[in-house]
Amino acid sequence: MNLTEIFFYFFILLAAISAGAIVFSGDVFKSALLLLTCLLSIAALYVLSFAEFIAVTQILIYAGGILVIIIFGIMLTTKISGQALTVQNTNIFSGGIAGIGLLTLLVRYLPDIPPAESKGLQPQDISVIGLKIFSLYSLPFEIAGLLLLVALVGAAVITSHLKSKV
C-alpha cells in the first residue's frame, strides 16, 4: 500500500464520516461546517483521480461560493438570540427506511459494474478541457451562462419587495 492509496482511503473515510455526522447533528451551522469538510475531502479525491480542474472548481464554487451562501441563509433565517438553532427531526422511520433501502440496493448491484480498464491513468493536459468546452460543448456552455444570469436575476427579484404577513 503506497502513500497515494493511504491518502485515498483517508479522504474516503473523512467524507463518509462527515456526511454521516450531518444526519445526527442538530445544529445547522455545525452541519454547514461538516458539509465543508465533506466537500473538501471530495475535492481531494478528485485530485487523486487526476481531475484537477474539477477539484479546483469544487473548492472555488462549492467551498467558496455555495457554503458562504448557505451560511448567509442561516444567519438571515435565525433570530439572533445567542443560543444555537436546533433542528428537530421528523419522519425518522420513513427516512431511515428509504435511505437504508436505497443503500442496500445500490451496494447489492455495484459489484456487477465492470471496473474501468486500467489504461494507466495519466495526468491530463488541462488545455484539453478548454478546447472541448469551446468547440464540442460550446452550445451547452452558452446555455449554462444564460442559466446563471437568469438564476442571479431571479434570486435578486425574489428577495426584493419583502413584505411581512404578520
Partner 1 sequence: MVPFHYLLYLASFLFCTGLVIVIIKRNAIMVLLGIELMLNASNLNLVAFNQGHPEELHGHIFALFVIIVAVCEAAVGLAIVVRVYRYFHSSVPDEIAELKG
Considering only residues 76-115, where is the footprint of partner 1 by CB under 8 A? 76-77, 85, 87-92, 94-96, 98-100, 102-103, 106-107, 110-111, 113, 115
Residue in the block written with cell 471530495? 42
Q: Closer to partner 1 at the Cβ: 82 or 91?
A: 91
d(CA 27, CA 88): 10
Report the 10 Å Cβ neighbour count for 136. 10
Q: Are 105 and 49 in contact (CB under 8 A)?
A: no
Determine if 19 is a binding residue for partner 1 (CB under 8 A). yes
- Pick from 62, 18, 27: nearest CA to 43: 62
Interface residues for partner 1 in 50-79 (CB under 8 A)? 50-51, 53-54, 57-58, 61-62, 65-66, 69-70, 72-74, 76-77
By CB under 8 A, the count of residues binding partner 1 is 90
Binder of partner 1 out of 6, 84, 134, 155 (CB under 8 A) = 155
